Amino acid sequence: MGYRSEVGFACDPIVKEIIKTVSEWNKDLRQLINDGDDLTHDKEQGRWRWDWVKWYEGYPEIDTMERIMQFVENAEMQGLSYDSFGFIRIGEDYGDIEQKGAPFEFDLYVNRSVEI
pTM of the model: 0.92
Range of the domain at 69: 5-106
pLDDT, tens digit (0-9, with 9 covering 90-100), for 13-68: 999 999 999 999 999 999 999 999 999 877 789 999 999 999 999 999 999 999 99
Judge contact between 56 and 49, C-beta under 8 A.
no
Q: Under DSSP, is residue 105 helix (H, G, I), strand (E, B) or coil? A: helix
Distance between CA atoms of residues 109 and 46, nearest Å: 16
Tell me whether residue 11 is in a domain. yes
Tell me whether residue 64 is in a domain. yes
* Tally of domains within the chain: 1
Tell me whether residue 114 is in a domain. no
Alpha helices in the chain (DSSP H): 13-25, 27-35, 60-74
pLDDT, tens digit (0-9, with 9 covering 90-100), for 8-24: 999 999 999 999 999 99
Tell me whether residue 65 is in a domain. yes
Distance between CA atoms of residues 14 and 72, nearest Å: 10
- 46-53 vs 37-38, strand pairing mode: antiparallel
